[in-house]
Structure 1
Amino acid sequence: MEQIFGRTNGLKPSEKKRLANLYRRRVPADRLLTAELAGTLAGLSGELEKPISLLFDRSGHVIRVAVGDAKEVPIPERAYVETRLSGYRLVHTHLGGGGLSRPDLSTLFLHRLDVIAALEVEGGQPRVLHLAQLSPPKAEQEDWQILPSRPYHEYLEWDLGGAVSALEEELSRQARVLDLQDGSGERAILVGVDRGEGTQAEVDLAELAELARTAGAIVAHKELVYRPVLDARYVVGRGKIEDLQSKAYHENAATLIFGLELSPAQARELEAATSLKVLDRTQLILDIFAQHARTPEAKVQVELAQLKYLLPRLVGHGKDLSRLGGGIGTRGPGETKLEVDRRRLQDRIAELTRKLREISGRRQETRRQRERAGLPVVSVVGYTNAGKTTLMQALAKKGEPGENKLFATLRPLTRRGFLPNLGEVLYTDTVGFIRHMPDELVEAFRSTLEELRDADVLVHVLDASQEGALERYAVVEQILAELEVEVPRVLVLSKADRAGGYDLEFLRERLGGLVVSALSGAGLPELKQAIAEKLIAKGMRPAVWAQTGYVPDFIP
């Protein structure tokens, strides 16, 4: 017997059988109801004295039967397509009269139903029919349009197929307009949370937008929500979530991205409440790292970080493993899918950790070879997208050009360069830092970052053109302190050609540093001289000094 959903307590077996018989009903694909089905539905609902809900697919077949209101019907999950409706229509009875309720309309909007209908039942007979459809995006009215209430028989010939086709055509047209304006890509709504941080919350939201752009998303809308205390289930509150869901519909967006780390329970609640893909800041950063991982080492490090992030979030989300590729194999007796998934993740984490140790061992050997060669090592560090790669290319006179993207460089790059009065040195580039850098990434890249301890000089690159430069400087210095890196530093105020004169002067007063533009070359000679002085202060001596007896005045 087919399953009956909803409030079935107290139903007799014969009543359940009659409800199950509704599964065998079918209406024409382009029609909402037939007179015969309306009479059967009303009669059964009147006898049971309970509302009954039916869910139809596009072909007109009943695929769900529930005792209760529209919210009692479990609507199948679907692959989210912004330009299409779900392909389901929902018809349910109202015993007490009245039109569509707010929960009815929320069900219509949440699941993008083709149509929702409420059939008034009086004395076991069908009476008035109430209908609603979604409004086209950018429409002046609410997210739904309520059609005139009429006796049910007047809607028996209503052209449902034509109404659905017209709405989907409008959805597609709006999507094409947005694509022409913004280009193709996954459209996302960004949600920043201000917990009393003031302007820093605005800076964080702007950084979240840059992360989304780097990940390949189109920022359809940004929302900064003041919320001193986070909602345990919905982070920013159920009312704000409904507003964001409406904004996503009108902006043709399928993704919500939050600028903080969500708990596993919050992520599940938000996805259930919105039917949208929900990401947090950590997932976004991990996705960017995965996109930019090119070398075997970077791929191992990123996958390890992703799995460590996913493991505590595995409850109820076994399907998430499909994103990592492949099935889970044969299950043992008595094992649940969740247990097998968790063990599979733990085994993979152990394997990746072993690989990372092997890579770390090879990297240590490479460092020893560099030490035997006797060449000084200058490591370039800084906040992500501060201009490290471009500066290193200018210093070494070779290498790949930098990209205006966050975390464009994941693997340590080493280039030979030349310093006046000192000779040949090695420049190394490292992965960029970011505020609230995910712990999983710091741990996975620890072996790479710890190479900074073996550098002779650190060149800390600070983007002087960015708002919040002081905070970014503090973030980098804090991470270096956590890694116990105690190496002489040279501070570079980069992108001087983009920064305002007041900003440069303010940073020089607060932090010191050298003003440099890697693109124009301004300040590069002074930077090389400063690096040479730091190296010489550590005892570095070029061979030419021993041959000529020349010793510069600035040696301490």
Structure 2
Amino acid sequence: MERIFGRTNGLKPSEKKRLVNLYNRRVPPNRLLTAELARTLAALSAELGKPIALLLDRGGRVLRVAVGDARELPVPESALVETRLSGYRLLHTHLGAGGLSRPDLSVLFLHRLDVIAALDVVQGQPGPLHLALLSPPKAIEEDWQILPSRPYHEYLDWDLGAAVAALEEELSRQARILDLRDGAGERAVLVGIDRGEGVQAEMDLAELVELARTAGAVVAHKELVYRPSLDPRYAVGRGKVDELVSQAYHQNAGTLIFGIELSPAQARELEAVTGLKVLDRTQLILDIFAQHARTPEAKVQVELAQLKYLLPRLVGQGRALSRLGGGIGTRGPGETKLELDRRRLQDRIAELSRKLKEISLRRQEARRQRDRAGVPIVGVVGYTNAGKTTLMHALARKGDQGENKLFATLRPLTRRGFLPGLGEVLYTDTVGFIRRMPEDLLEAFRSTLEELRDADVLLHVLDASQEGALERYQVVEALLAELGVEAPRILVLSKADAAGGFDLEFLKERLGGLPVSALKGQGLEELKQAIAGRLRAMGVRPAAWACPPAAAYAVE
């Protein structure tokens, strides 16, 4: 027997049977209702003394029946395409006059219904019919358009199919315009939260924009929300969530990205109330790592971090676990792994942890071999996208030039270089750091970051052209202290050619450091001399040869 939803307490078996019979009703595909269905709903609603709601598909088939208003009728999840409506229409009765309520219009908007209709019941007979459709996504218009209320029989011949087709064509046209303006890609609305940090919150939102773009998203809208304390259900409050959903609709965005780590309960509530894909900052960073993981080691590390993040979020994932089609936040272990039960997930985590231990042992052996060779090691660390890889290429004259994106390097890169008057050295690059580094990710990459402990000297690369450079310096130093890295530092003020003169002088005054432009070769000789001087002060003696052999730059 088909289920009756809503307020069914106190219904007689005969009344339930009459409600179930509504599942057998059919409406012509391009029509909203028939006269017979209108009379049946009005009579049954008057007899029960309760409103009745029906959900129909585009074929005119009744999919769900509920006793109550539009909110009592659960709308099934659809494979939502941002430029299309859901394909559902909702028809319900009102026992009194008054037209469509605000909750009715919210149901229409949040579920992207083809149409919502309220039929007034007047003395057991169908009365006026109230209709609303979504508006085309233009910022100057309301989110919905309410049609004139008329006697129900005047809407019997209304061409619903033509109205829906016209609206979907306008949705597609607006989407094409936005794609031409902003570029094609997964469109997202970004939400930063200011809990009293002021300027730091603005910088965090700017960093979230860069993270989203690195992940492949098109930033359709960004907003900084002042919220001293988070709402336990919706993080930013229900009213603000409704505003964000409206922005997503008008900007043709299907994803909400929050600049904080959401609790499992918050993520579930936000997805349920918005109908959008909801990601937090941690998921975004994990997705970027998954995109850039190329080596078996990096893939193991990223998958382990993702599964540890997912484990407490298994219960009630619903839409998040069943969503198909990939996209931001769904890369990495893959859909099948997301659907593993908790026991199998824990087994997988244990297996990946064992693999990481094996990798760590191999790394220790490689480090021992380097120690026996007696070649000094220069570690290169810094905030993500600070220019570490580009600097290594300039110092060692080998390897990649580097990319202007976050977390472009995940695996440790070791390159041979030469310091005049000292001889051969090894430059080692590691994954970049970031503020509020996800704990699971830091733990997964701990074996990689242990390379830093064996470095004789560390080059702390700081992007001098970046706003908030001083705060980024402090983030890196705090993470190095947490990892127990104590090697002496040389601060490199990278991208000096792009930094403002005042900013560069401010950093030199506060932190010291050597201004360097790896792209233009400025300051490289002074940096090499500083490295050689620091190594000599530590007791490193010059090699037997004073000039670099031809093979020094040819062997990794």
For residue 301 of structure 1, what is the aligned residue in structure 2? 301
For residue 417 of structure 2, what is the aligned residue in structure 1? 417
Partner Cα distance (2:318, 2:421) in 1:
61
1:122 and 2:122 matched = yes
The Cα shift of 1:140 comes to 2.8
Partner Cα distance (2:301, 2:203) in 1:
29
Partner Cα distance (2:429, 2:187) in 1:
33
1:222 and 2:198 matched = no
1:247 and 2:251 matched = no
Pick closer, same or farther for the CA change 1:214–1:325 going to 2, 3 Å: closer
For residue 487 of structure 1, what is the aligned residue in structure 2? 487
1:461 and 2:461 matched = yes
Partner Cα distance (1:244, 1:139) in 2:
13
User: Mapping of 1:349-368 within 5 angstroms?
Assistant: 349-368=349-368
| Structure 1: gaps (5+ residues) | 329-336, 547-556
Contact 1:318–1:341 at 8 Å: present in 2 too?
A: no
1:202 and 2:238 matched = no
For residue 550 of structure 1, what is the aligned residue in structure 2? none
The Cα shift of 1:543 comes to 3.1
Partner Cα distance (1:198, 1:98) in 2:
45
Pick closer, same or farther for the CA change 1:318–1:356 going to 2, 3 Å: farther
The Cα shift of 1:79 comes to 1.6
Partner Cα distance (2:497, 2:60) in 1:
65
1:150 and 2:150 matched = yes
For residue 233 of structure 2, what is the aligned residue in structure 1? 233
For residue 520 of structure 1, what is the aligned residue in structure 2? 520
User: Mapping of 1:246-395 within 5 angstroms?
Assistant: 246-317=246-317, 324-325=333-334, 327=336, 341-395=341-395
Letter in 1 for 2:450: E
1:9 and 2:9 matched = yes
Letter in 2 for 1:539: G
Pick closer, same or farther for the CA change 1:326–1:441 going to 2, 3 Å: closer
For residue 452 of structure 1, what is the aligned residue in structure 2? 452
Letter in 2 for 1:462: L
For residue 163 of structure 2, what is the aligned residue in structure 1? 163
Partner Cα distance (1:374, 1:321) in 2:
51
The one-character-per-residue Cα deviations of 1:424-478 (angstroms, maximum 9, x if unpaired) are 1111110000000000011000111111010111000000000000000000000
RMSD over equivalenced CA pairs, Å: 1.4
For residue 503 of structure 1, what is the aligned residue in structure 2? 503
Contact 2:423–2:545 at 8 Å: present in 1 too?
A: no
Contact 2:189–2:220 at 8 Å: present in 1 too?
A: yes
| Structure 2: gaps (5+ residues) | 323-329, 547-556
The Cα shift of 1:372 comes to 1.3
The Cα shift of 1:123 comes to 1.2
Partner Cα distance (1:81, 1:318) in 2:
18
For residue 58 of structure 2, what is the aligned residue in structure 1? 58
Contact 2:301–2:444 at 8 Å: present in 1 too?
A: yes
Partner Cα distance (1:230, 1:475) in 2:
24
Letter in 2 for 1:49: G
For residue 334 of structure 1, what is the aligned residue in structure 2? none
Contact 1:71–1:107 at 8 Å: present in 2 too?
A: yes
User: Mapping of 1:39-54 within 5 angstroms?
Assistant: 39-54=39-54
Contact 1:55–1:91 at 8 Å: present in 2 too?
A: yes
Partner Cα distance (2:140, 2:352) in 1:
54
The Cα shift of 1:516 comes to 0.2
The Cα shift of 1:320 comes to 5.0
The Cα shift of 1:61 comes to 0.4
Letter in 2 for 1:312: P
Partner Cα distance (1:253, 1:410) in 2:
30
Letter in 1 for 2:100: L
Percent identity, please. Answer: 81
Question: What secondary structure does 1:543 align onto?
Answer: coil
Contact 2:424–2:543 at 8 Å: present in 1 too?
A: no
Question: What secondary structure does 2:341 align onto?
Answer: helix
For residue 326 of structure 2, what is the aligned residue in structure 1? none
Partner Cα distance (1:355, 1:205) in 2:
36
Partner Cα distance (2:69, 2:145) in 1:
20
Question: What secondary structure does 2:193 align onto?
Answer: strand
Partner Cα distance (1:327, 1:312) in 2:
17
Q: Structure 1 length normalisation: TM-score? A: 0.95
Contact 2:192–2:205 at 8 Å: present in 1 too?
A: yes
The Cα shift of 1:321 comes to 5.5
The Cα shift of 1:325 comes to 3.6
The Cα shift of 1:319 comes to 6.8
Contact 2:386–2:461 at 8 Å: present in 1 too?
A: yes
For residue 102 of structure 2, what is the aligned residue in structure 1? 102
For residue 134 of structure 1, what is the aligned residue in structure 2? 134
Letter in 1 for 2:494: S
Letter in 2 for 1:167: L
Partner Cα distance (1:176, 1:142) in 2:
21
For residue 533 of structure 1, what is the aligned residue in structure 2? 533
Partner Cα distance (2:439, 2:149) in 1:
57
For residue 87 of structure 2, what is the aligned residue in structure 1? 87
Partner Cα distance (2:46, 2:228) in 1:
50
Contact 1:457–1:490 at 8 Å: present in 2 too?
A: yes
Contact 2:87–2:114 at 8 Å: present in 1 too?
A: yes
For residue 554 of structure 1, what is the aligned residue in structure 2? none
The Cα shift of 1:326 comes to 6.1
The one-character-per-residue Cα deviations of 1:252-306 (angstroms, maximum 9, x if unpaired) are 0001100011000000111111111110000000000000000000000000000
Contact 1:57–1:89 at 8 Å: present in 2 too?
A: yes
Contact 1:25–1:61 at 8 Å: present in 2 too?
A: yes
The one-character-per-residue Cα deviations of 1:67-88 (angstroms, maximum 9, x if unpaired) are 0000111111012211000000
1:35 and 2:21 matched = no
Partner Cα distance (2:453, 2:49) in 1:
76
The Cα shift of 1:142 comes to 1.0
Decide which moves more: 144-153 or 73-82. Answer: 73-82
Partner Cα distance (1:412, 1:545) in 2:
28
Contact 2:277–2:320 at 8 Å: present in 1 too?
A: no
Partner Cα distance (1:62, 1:250) in 2:
30
The Cα shift of 1:538 comes to 1.2
User: Mapping of 1:66-77 within 5 angstroms?
Assistant: 66-77=66-77
The Cα shift of 1:503 comes to 0.4
The Cα shift of 1:327 comes to 4.8
Letter in 2 for 1:69: D
The one-character-per-residue Cα deviations of 1:165-206 (angstroms, maximum 9, x if unpaired) are 000000000000001011110000110011110100000000
